[in-house]
Chains A and B, each alone.
Chain A
Amino acid sequence: MMRRAIPFIVLIGLAGGILWFFPLFSVVPLKRAQEEKAAATFNPQKFAETFWTDKLLPYLDKAVPAETLLPAIQHDPADAKKRFARSLGMSDSYTYFLSGTGRVIAVSDDEISLAITAGSTNAEVSLPMGMLFGNAIRDGTGLLDVNAYPNSQDFNNIANELNHLVETRVLPGLKERATVGATIHFAGCAEVDDESTDLKPLHVVPIQAEVK
């Protein structure tokens, strides 16, 4: 009787040994599983903050000077677009990445109007002061590539988070200090959707703005 049982005992022992080293499933604490899932999920807020500090701010010196871009637009908008603009995919819209210094000629709840050219009394650039929407910052510099994001929802969320950073880090200081006659040094991106309204003034979403 005992002899007949030996092969079964060996078999059970072997199976136990295999399952010990190669378990069919493992039990993980719920908290750890949630943490692992969160780590694997794209976090647009964290991404935008790292991008802002590590990539965007150090890249601002690559912006086209406003004193080059604005006369180019005035002279020949199509040629200026060809030389300085970026466009994503198939689109009539495009973005400019520019920096410059301007004199504040008007301040409202929605925008600060700047004259850039010496002696100009017209608003050549406006900095929005209200809620920010759109993809100007995400697409304007060319630092972010849509092809790097398998799910375009991630790419879209980046635009939102970058707008949020402008609203919380850049606009409050501007609102507080910008008065008519002050000088502002800015760097940012402008989205041109309709050339009849978006070029004069150029609506620049500021990534950096310093009031002097």
Chain B
Amino acid sequence: MKNYLTKLAFALATALMVFPAFTTRADDAPKTKVAVVISTLNNPWFVVLAETAKARAEELGYDATIFDSQNDTAKEAAHFENLIAGGYKAVLFNPTDANGSVANVLKAKAAGVPVFCIDREINATNAATSQMLSDSYSGCVALGQYFVKTVGTEGEYAELLGIVGDNNTWNRSKGFHSVVDRYPGLKMVAQQSADFDRAKGLEVFEAILQKNPNLKAVFCGNDAMAMGAYQALVAAGKDKQVKVFGFDGADDVVKLIAEGKIAATGMQFPKLMAQKAAEYADEYIKGKRDFQQKIPVKVDLVTPANVGKYGDFGKKQ
């Protein structure tokens, strides 16, 4: 019996010595790599998009890295070269240019790396595995209707456009104009690009404001430009005269809507899109192949009447 117990103790001790060694090896095994390629991190909205995608990919057990394209298609192309060579198994992608980014996605596809577009689309349906896109057009139709309701059917207004090569810029602008252009009394006296950038929004709108003292409103293609425009209005003492309309659902703009300083925005749900894209990549890596090519994500109109329901880049639960 004693002999038996000694043998059992020896066997257990051996098992305990060996088993942790395996555990340590499993921990040290390199994780599958997922890339998060973002058009620009010079905008808090895209930072949220990037960090949420990264965090969700990490939660799912991947080693995720963020690449900043700085709104430059050449930098974006270099990122794709590097990530393909670096053995990344999936790309969560916010494109810089609807046409210019197609070649990068096709290159990844040829290398067997699936690409999941987030928020912005590419003008191809045979390149990305799936595209999760904010329904910017419909969001701006709703925003345009609210614009007419609050500004009225007469008066001068200006528009700040985003990056001219991005489909979202035109989907937003066209959605807005599909409503507002039907009221001939509403005159657009200036339309200029500020590249979705807050500092440029401030600079461009300051110049517009100087030339057009009778403005009643400004429609901005995103919230960063809306913040820039609002800053220019405060500096000029015209923040009560000119109503600001943004698009994105950025936290600072949602707070200003609650304070009655900005008229409205469109909530785009960046966290929801980023999380879903990471989950799709996980499903792909685990073998799923039948993904819907385009998944429009509804944009909610946020106004002083319903602003309490929104915050933290989404709808409060």
Contacts and interface: CB of A to CB of B under 8 A. Distances in A.
Interface of A: 88-93, 131, 133-135, 146-153, 156-157, 159-160
**Closest CB pairs A-B (n = 8):** A89-B296, A91-B298, A156-B137, A147-B293, A89-B295, A90-B297, A151-B123, A150-B125
Given A91-B135, A131-B182, A159-B137, 19 more contacts: A89-B135, A90-B295, A90-B297, A133-B141, A133-B144, A147-B125, A147-B294, A148-B125, A150-B125, A151-B121, A152-B121, A152-B167, A153-B167, A153-B174, A156-B137, A156-B174, A156-B175, A157-B174, A160-B178
Interface size class of B (residues with CB under 8 A): 20 to 34
B141 A134 contact: yes
A90 B137 contact: no
Interface in B58-96: none
Interface string B18-46: 00000000000000000000000000000
B307 interface: no
Nearest to B306: A194
A144 to B, nearest CB: 12
A89 B132 CA distance: 9
B272 interface: yes
21 contacts: A89-B133, A89-B135, A89-B297, A90-B295, A91-B135, A91-B298, A92-B298, A131-B182, A146-B294, A149-B125, A150-B123, A150-B124, A151-B167, A152-B133, A152-B137, A152-B294, A153-B174, A156-B137, A156-B171, A157-B174, A159-B137
Given A151-B98, A160-B178, A89 B298 contact: yes
A135 B297 CA distance: 14
A91 B298 CA distance: 5
Given A133-B179, A152-B137, A146 B296 contact: yes
Contact of A134 (B138, B292, B295): B138
Nearest to B175: A156
A135 B138 CA distance: 8
Contact of B298 (A90, A147, A151): A90
A88 B121 CA distance: 16
Contact of B171 (A92, A134, A149, A153): A153
Contacts of A151: 98, 121, 123, 167
Interface string B116-140: 0000010111000000110101100
Contacts of A134: 138, 141
B191 interface: no
B295 A133 contact: no
B228 to A, nearest CB: 26
A157 B171 CA distance: 10
- Max chain A CB contacts within 10 Å: which of B123, B124, B138? B138
Nearest to A191: B138
Contacts of B125: 147-150
Contacts of A91: 135, 296-298
A133 B272 CA distance: 27
A150 B182 CA distance: 28
Interface centre among A91, A134, A156 (most CB of B within 10 A): A156
B284 interface: no
Contacts of A93: 298
Contacts of B179: 131, 133
B192 interface: no
Nearest to A90: B297
Given A147-B292, A152-B121, A152-B167, A133 B298 contact: no
B278 to A, nearest CB: 15
**Which residue, A92, A93, A131, A146, has most C-beta atoms of chain B within 10 A?**
A146
Contacts of A160: 178
Interface in B137-171: 137-138, 141, 144-145, 167, 170-171
Contacts of B167: 151-153
B200 interface: no
A84 to B, nearest CB: 19
Interface core residue of A131, A147, A150 (most chain B CB under 10 Å)? A150
Contacts of B98: 151
B48 to A, nearest CB: 17
Nearest to A89: B296
Given A131-B182, A135-B138, A153 B170 contact: yes
A163 to B, nearest CB: 9
B261 interface: no
B276 interface: yes
A152 B171 contact: yes
Contacts of A152: 121, 133, 137, 167, 171, 294, 296
A106 B18 CA distance: 84
Nearest to A163: B178
